[in-house]
Amino acid sequence: MDSLVKDPEYFPQVTLSTPIDIDWAGGITHANVQHAVNSLLGRHFVHSSSLPTKSVDQDDRLALFNVLTDVLPSMSSRTKLFWTRAGRPFSQMLHTAQMSLTTQCTYLVFVYARVLGFLPDKGTGPPACLTLDGSPIEFSWIIPRKKIAKGHANRDVRIIMEPFDPRGSGYMLKGSSVLEYFASYAGSLGGVVQCDWDGLLWVESAEGLFFPQEHKGDYIQDGGRFLVGLDFSSSGFVTLKAYVLSFEHAPWVRSVEKFKSPSPVCMTGLNLSPLRTLAGNIYPTFAESFDVLMGYINSLEPEQRHVYHFTSIDCKSPKDNRLKIYVLTLTRTNWSSIKEDFTLGGRMCSSQLDAALAAFESFWNCMFPESSSILDKPLRQLPIDVGDNHHPQGGLAYQYEFIPGDSMLFPKIYVPVSDGAASRALEDFYNSNGIQGPEGGEQGPGWVEREVAKSYNYRDLNERNGCRTYISFGLKKSGWEVTSYFSPEIFASEHDKINPGTS
C-alpha cells in the first residue's frame, strides 16, 4: 500500500499540513479557498496565477464545492468522476449540517486528497457490499432531537467506504493498513483525523480472530472484506471506525469451488460462539454481555434464530471504545418479534429503554403502516431492481453495542427502505415527536425529502429505489436516535444528465 499512497495520481503528496486559518467575513472567494487548500496540501499546491477571476454566488449551496473545483488542479477523468458524484453530495450534506466554512473546506479537501484515491473504478475487483447499486461509498447523518439555533452545526456527517487498490484489478486492502495510514501524519493531513496511540488495538484483535492466517501484506485475504468509517464532526476532526466482514462462500475469489474461509465465523453463520473469545479478550466483562445475547438467540426456535452479519469497532482507546456485533433475521419482521429482539426478550430493561421503545413503536408505525404494531404483520419485502452486489435486500439487521463499564447492550435496528416514501414517513415520525427542520435550513411540510433531494439531485427520488440504503433506530447512552444512510449511486446513468462528461 505504500506505493499506492505515494502515487500522486491517486493521493496528493503533502510534506506539511497546517490548519486552515481564514477570515470568511467576505464570503467564499477563490483566493481564500486557495489559501485553505495550500494550508492543508502544501504552500505551492495551487498557484495564484491559475485562479479564476469570476464572482461567487454566496447564496449557492454549492458555492464552496464549485470554487474548490475551480481551484484544485486539473483532475484525471477518474478523480473528476468521484469528486463530482461523491464529493458533490457530501458537500451538500455539510452545508445542510451548517458546519462552519473552515470545517466544510477542511473535510472536502480531506475527501479529495485522502478518500477518493481508495475508490475502485467500475468493473474492477469484486462487487461492493455497501450499497444496493454497488457504490463503494455510503453517507449518513442523524437529525438531532433537540432544536439547534441557526448558524450552529445541527448534525455530524459520516462516510463508510470499502477501500480498494484502484490500480490493476482492484484488490481489497487490509483494514489495519488503511487505518494506520489515516492515523499517520500524511494520511490525516497533519491531524484532521484523530486516533489515539492505542486506538487500533481492538481492530488488530478482530483481524486476528477473523483472519488467523493473514499474511503481512496490505491486501485482505480471500473471503474477507473491510470497511472504514469516517465520522466528520462539527469540531473539525474526523474519527475512525472499522467494519470486518468474512464470507464462507466468496464468489469473487479464484477457484471458488475449492475455497474454504479460514475465519471461525462468517456472514450468515449460525454459530456465533467464536465472537465470545473476541469480546472477552478485548474487555473481560464483554463475555458476560455476549452470553446474554446468545442466551436470547438460542432460546428461539432454530428456524427463527438470527445469523451472523459482521462486526465493527471504533478506533479509540480501550476505555472509550465500543464493540458492535451485527446479526440478521429474515423471518422475525413483525412488530412483536422485533420488540423481543430489541430488548432480548426482556433480558434488557431500563427506563431509558422503555422511553426508546415508545419512540421506536411510533417510528415503526410511521415507516410501515401495513405492518404496524397493531396489525403485527411481517414486513413485505421491497421490490428492488439492482445489479450484482452483496448488500442484503431482505429481512432486518440488528446491531448490539458493547460499552466498557456497562453491562447493558445498546440495540439498533436497520430497516431497508425506498427513497421518496421513506422521507415522507420519516417526517411524519419527526412531526409526532416535535422535531422540525433546522433553523436556517429546510422548514415546513416536505423538509426531510427536500434535504435529501438537494444532496442527491441527479434524479427524482420517487422514480426508483437505491439512494436510501437503510434507516436505523437505535438506543445510545444519550437516548434514542434515527440515522439515515445514503448511496451516491456513483455509477448511475442519471448523473450524466446534470454532470455531463463525468462518466
Assign residue 82 a region: left if phi > 0, alpha if psi is -120 to 50, beta otherwise?
Answer: alpha
In Å, the largest CA–CA distance within the chain is: 71
pLDDT band for position 425 (cuts 50, 70, 90): very high
Could you give the CA distance from residue 456 to residue 86 in angstroms, rounded to a whole number?
Answer: 10
Contacts of residue 456, Cβ cutoff 8 Å, sequence gap at least 6: 89, 467, 486, 488, 489
Q: Given a cut of 80, is residue 290 above it in pLDDT?
A: yes
* pLDDT at residue 481 greater than cutoff 60: yes
- Entry pTM: 0.94
Using only C-alpha atoms, the chain has a radius of gyration, in whole angstroms, of 22
Quickly tell me which residue has 475449492 as its cell.
Answer: 258
Cα–Cα distance, 18 to 41 (Å, whole number) = 8
pLDDT band at residue 202 under the 50/70/90 scheme: very high
Distance, in Å, from the CA atom of 2 to the CA atom of 218, rounded to the nearest integer, reads: 9
According to DSSP, residue 197 is labeled T
Question: Contact at 8 Å (CB) between 243 and 206?
Answer: no
SS3 279: helix
CB 67 within 8 A of CB 33: yes
Are 248 and 267 in contact, with CB atoms under 8 Å apart?
yes
DSSP per position, 142-188:
E--SS---TTS----EEEEE--B--STT-PBBPHHHHHHHHHSTTTT
Share of the chain above pLDDT 70, in %: 92
Structure-block grid coordinates of residue 155: 448534525
Cα dihedral 397→337→275→256 (10° resolution): -50
- 459 confidence band (pLDDT: 50, 70, 90): confident
C-alpha cell at position 41: 496540501
User: Mean pLDDT score of the chain, rounded to an integer?
Assistant: 90
